[in-house]
Amino acid sequence: MSNQVTLRRSLSLYQVVYMGLAWMTPMIYFSIYGIAYENSHGMLTQAYLLAFVAIFFTAYSYGVMSKVFPTSGSAYTYTKKSLHPYLGFLVGWALLLDYFFSPIIACLTFGIYLHAQFPSIPAYVWIIGLNIVLGIINIIGIKFSANISKLFVWIQIIFIATFCFFLFRNLAGAQEIHPLQPFLQTDVPFTTILAGASIICFSFLGFDTVTTMAEETVNSEKTIPRAIMIIIIAASVLYLVPSFLTQLVYPHLTFVNVDSAGFEIVKMVGGAALSSVFLTVLVLAIFTQGLSSVTSVSRLLFVLGRDEVLPKRAFAYLHPKLGTPVINIVIVSVVSLLALAISLDNAVKFVNFGALTAFFFVNVSVIAQKYAKERRRSAKQTVLYLALPLLGAGFIGYLLSLLDQDALWMGMTWLVIGIVYHLLMGKRSARLQGTAVVPVRTAGGARAAGTAGTTGTVGTIK
């Protein structure tokens, strides 16, 4: 009997954390600065705090479910085993939008920024080049990817710390600034701050991707929940500290271009010295996000293949020596070439629909698994397994309702495609079962191989 190739458990707690932070991309703070500032009317500190509280409930639910089902299927597995296999399929199908389009966004933004910096080199050269590099690194192995992610995540953290240092320096030169000034500004309605928080929540997308690495993580039942909380808390610090300091130093800001507001605020705070390295760090951040997202989607495809939701022969294949899903990585790299044709706006809409759908059902899965099936219903357990997941599901449902019509139509169209695919696969499976080889009895009572649904003997056993 040949040995079955399996995913290798090699990732430590902090390697998983770095992979999650790489996907989340701390530098996204600057990428969405303008739109977040505009939607919250400058109340970024309050908006980030609300966003953290909202996402915390969903992160908690992911932690609970990763303990119950320590496998690499993420929201797909949790929904399938807690609620219903068919619903799990639909959630997994929706999650593919998030995971498939994340590397597309990375490649697209990589090409946009570098083409802007080097106009003589077409964007498609950068896009294709990044695809090849991401594919090669992922094929080599997840531990190698984690080590690269660690380096580039630290570069982002150092940049944000430097940005905060310049803010401190500017703060020292200011006069009569109340240390709680950002929280004393009450002229902006709470509903406006909440609208800003709904935009900012997308800065936290990515913490869930570490659940796709459960089967490659040492002691995953404990490691994955811890990693999720460390990622959420670390990201909150990296977002809240600079937003608080910026609001202290610059309580009122206007930008020439909202889309490039991040660059404008960096230049305003750190001058030419800091802004000169901004683009380099941002490009490195995009690279690590692409690296982590290819890892995540290739593992989700592996689980879908192993469960025969997708063709098992291709999607459940692991390289015998490297232990990586090579075919899946190549497929992701090919699909990521859509970055040559799709707009950034449409790609982001796909990601938002897929991520929020998965988040909603993970919260519901906690209630179904822990509160309903396992009947954990003491006073404390009612809070942990009913109240907190309900709060998470409610807020995520609210965010889903804020998606524009294009995003909802695109997402629903993708789900319809999934339903049709599932029906066709079901019919194919039924046909194969109807012609499956089964044992039938010969005239002498011996057993022989026959075809299901046939009569008579096929052969005799000697």
pTM above 0.95, yes or no: no
Domain contains 415: no
Q: How many domains does the chain divide into?
A: 1
Q: For the segment 368-406, what is each residue's pLDDT rounded down to a tens digit?
A: 999 999 999 999 999 999 999 999 999 888 878 877 787
Cα four-point dihedral sign 271, 276, 279, 280: negative
Domain contains 45: yes
Cα four-point dihedral sign 347, 348, 351, 353: negative
Q: For the segment 259-315, what is each residue's pLDDT rounded down to a tens digit?
A: 678 888 998 888 888 888 998 898 888 888 888 888 888 888 888 888 888 888 888
Domain contains 310: yes
Alpha carbon distance 61, 95 (integer Å)? 17
Give the CATH number of the domain where residue 140 resides: 1.20.1740.10
Domain contains 316: yes
Q: For the segment 44-86, what is each residue's pLDDT rounded down to a tens digit?
A: 888 898 888 888 999 999 999 988 888 766 788 899 999 998 8
Domain contains 26: yes
User: What percent of the chain shows pLDDT beyond 70?
Assistant: 86
With a cut of 80, say whether residue 349 has pLDDT above it: no
Q: Residue 239: what pLDDT?
A: 93
Name 441's bridge partners.
447
Domain contains 424: no
3-state DSSP helix/strand/coil percent for the chain, to nearest 5? 75, 5, 20
Name the residue with higher pLDDT: 343 or 125: 125
CB 139 within 8 A of CB 322: yes
Domain contains 59: yes
CB 95 within 8 A of CB 272: no
Q: What is the DSSP string of 357-426?
A: HHHHHHHHHHIIIIIIIS---SHHHHIIIIIHHHHHHHHHHHHHHHS-HHHHHHHHHHHHHHHHHHHHHH
Q: What is the DSSP string of 252-288?
A: S---S-GGGHHHHHHHHHHHHHHHHHHHHHHHHHHHH
Domain contains 365: yes
Q: Identify the DSSP state of 210.
A: G
With a cut of 90, say whether residue 125 has pLDDT above it: yes
Q: How many residues does the chain have?
A: 462
Beta-carbon contacts of residue 362 (< 8 Å; ≥ 6 apart)? 58, 61, 62, 65, 75, 78, 79, 208
Q: Residue 446: what pLDDT?
A: 47
Structure tokens that stand for 230 in this block: 């460390």
Q: Residue 107: what pLDDT?
A: 87
Q: Which domain holds residue 43?
A: 13-403
Average pLDDT over residues 235-244: 92
User: What percent of the chain shows pLDDT beyond 90?
Assistant: 23
Name 447's bridge partners.
441
Alpha carbon distance 389, 57 (integer Å)? 6
Structure tokens that stand for 93 in this block: 């199908």
With a cut of 50, say whether residue 456 has pLDDT above it: no
Alpha carbon distance 96, 304 (integer Å)? 10
Question: How many CA within 13 A on the CB side of residue 18?
Answer: 22
